[in-house]
Structure 1
Amino acid sequence: MASIHDVAKEAGVSVATVSKVINHYPDVSEKTRKKVKNAIELLRYRPNVIARGLVTGRSWTVGVLINIPFTNPYVSMLLEGIKTALENSGYDLMRLSARLNDPGYSFVDHCQSRNLDGVVVFGVEKDHHSIQELIESGIPTMFVDMDATGQRAGNITTENRNGVHMAVRHLYELGHQRIAYLAGVPGQPVNESRLAGYRDGLETSSIPYREDYVVNGDYSYDSGIQGMRMLLQLDQPPTAVVCTSDMAAFGVIHAIEAHGLSVPGDISVVGFDNIYEAELFKPGLTTINQNIHAIGVKSIEELISMIKSAEYPPPVVTEPSSLVIRESTARYSEQ
Structure 2
Amino acid sequence: MASIHDVAKEAGVSVATVSKVINHYPDVSEKTRKKVKLAIARLRYRPNVIARGLVTGRSWTVGVLLHVPFTNPYVSMLLEGMKTALEHSGYDLMRLSARLNDPDYSFIDHCHSRNLDGIVVFGVEKDHRSIQELIQAGIPTMFVDTDATGLRAGNITTDNRNGIRMAVQHLFELGHRRIAYLAGVPGQDVNELRLAGYREGLGAFSLAYREDYVVDGDYSYDSGFQGMNRLMELDVPPTAVICTSDMAAFGAIRAIEARGFTVPGDISVVGFDNIFETELFKPGLTTINQNIHAIGVKSIEELIAMIKDPKYPPPVVTEPSSLVIRESTGIAKVIT
Q: Show CA shifts across 1:233-263 (max 9, x none).
A: 0000000000000000000000000011000
Residues 225-240 of structure 1: pairs in structure 2 closer than 5 A: 225-240=225-240
2:7 is the alignment partner of 1:7 = yes
Alignment-mate amino acid for residue 334 of structure 1? V
Matches within 5 A, 1:10-21: 10-21=10-21
Correspondence list, 1:51-62, <5 A: 51-62=51-62
Residue in 2 that maps onto 1:22:
22
Equivalent residue number for residue 65 of structure 1 = 65
SS in 1 for 2:279: helix
Equivalent residue letter for 1:272: F
Q: Is the 8 A contact 2:125 2:189 kept in 1?
A: no
The amino acid across from 1:95 in the alignment is R
Aligned to 1:86: 86
SS in structure 2 of the partner of residue 52 of structure 1: helix
Show the counterpart of 1:124.
124
Q: Partners of 2:294 and 2:278 in 1: how far apart?
A: 18
Question: What is the aligned partner in structure 1 of residue 198 from structure 2?
Answer: 198
What is the rounded CA distance, in whole Å, between the counterparts of 1:168 and 1:299 in structure 2?
Answer: 29
Aligned partner of 1:134: which letter? L
Aligned length: 335
Paired residues of 2:183 and 2:191 also in contact (CA < 8 A): yes
User: Alpha-carbon deviation of 1:154?
Assistant: 0.2
SS at match of 2:194: helix
**Match in the other structure for 2:34:** 34
TM-score (norm. length: structure 1): 0.99
Provide the residue aligned with 1:292 in structure 2.
292
Q: Give distance in 2, aligned partners of 1:126 and 1:60.
A: 26
Cα separation, 2, equivalents of 1:99 and 1:243: 30
> What corresponds to 2:113 in structure 1?
113
CA deviation profile, 1:148-178 (whole Å, cap 9, x unmatched)? 0000000000000000000001000000000
Q: Deviations over 1:303-325 (max 9, x none)?
A: 00000000000000000000000
Q: Offset of 1:186 from its aligned partner?
A: 0.5
The equivalences for 1:195-274 within 5 A come to 195-274=195-274
Name the residue aligned to 1:332.
332
Shift of 1:125: 2.1
**Which residue in 2 is equivalent to 1:281?**
281
- Aligned match of 1:99: 99
Cα distance in 2 for partners of 1:266, 1:315 equals 44
Q: Which moved more, 1:118-127 or 1:266-275?
A: 118-127
Measure, in 1, the Cα distance between the counterparts of 2:125 and 2:297. Answer: 22
Amino acid at match of 2:304: I
Q: Which moved more, 1:125-134 or 1:48-57?
A: 125-134
Per the alignment, residue 75 of structure 1 pairs with 75
- Segments of 4+ moved more than 4 angstroms: none
User: Partner amino acid for 2:68?
Assistant: I
Whole-angstrom CA distance in 1 between matches of 2:113 and 2:187: 32
Amino acid at match of 2:308: K
Percent of aligned pairs with the same amino acid:
83
How far apart in 1 are the matches of 2:232 and 2:9? 75
Structure 2 CA distance for aligned equivalents of residues 125 and 314 of structure 1: 18
1:172 is aligned to: 172
> How far apart are residue 334 of structure 1 and its match?
2.6
> Any stretches of 5+ residues in structure 1 without a counterpart?
none
CA distance in structure 2 between the aligned counterparts of 1:33 and 1:239, rounded to whole angstroms: 60
Amino acid at match of 2:254: H
Q: Match of 2:267, as an amino acid?
A: I
Aligned to 2:188: 188
Partner of 2:148: 148
Following TM superposition, by how much is the alpha carbon of 1:127 offset from its aligned partner in structure 2, in angstroms?
1.5
Alignment pair present for 1:163 and 2:163: yes
Q: Do the aligned partners of 2:175 and 2:334 also contact (CA within 8 Å) in 1?
A: no
Mapped to 2, the partners of 1:116 and 1:208 lie a distance apart of: 50
Structure 2: which amino acid aligns with 1:217? G
Which letter maps to 1:79?
L
Q: For residue 128 of structure 1, report the CA deviation from its aligned partner.
A: 1.0
Match of 2:327, SS?
coil
